[in-house]
Amino acid sequence: MLVLKARLTRKKETKFIMAVTTNFDETNMTLFFKDLFEWWNEETAYFFRRIRKSAALARGYNKSSLERLSKDRLTMQAERGSNWNF
């Protein structure tokens, strides 16, 4: 495996990793792991988006249904007399 460095700025360096293979099987394995890595990154990002959405729903905050929330719903209000508005 060959590792090349490219200087972008004085402070920042980026490494480019280029696989040098000698046969077809190694090339296929390299492509497989590259695609697997890209898929894993996409799935992980999707998974964390779902966690954030589920946590927001558990807290009672849903951007898509804010207009549909009922006024009769139990809500916390900043009032002097009572903290709860029924």
Under 8 Å between Cβ of 84 and 77: yes
Write down the pLDDT at residue 1.
Answer: 42
At residue 75, the pLDDT reads 54
SS3 23: coil
From first to last of the 86 residues of the chain, give the pLDDT tens digit. 444 444 445 445 555 555 555 666 777 788 888 888 989 989 999 999 999 888 888 877 655 555 445 555 555 554 455 555 55
What is the per-residue pLDDT for 31? 84
pLDDT score for 48: 92
Residue 75's SS3 state is strand
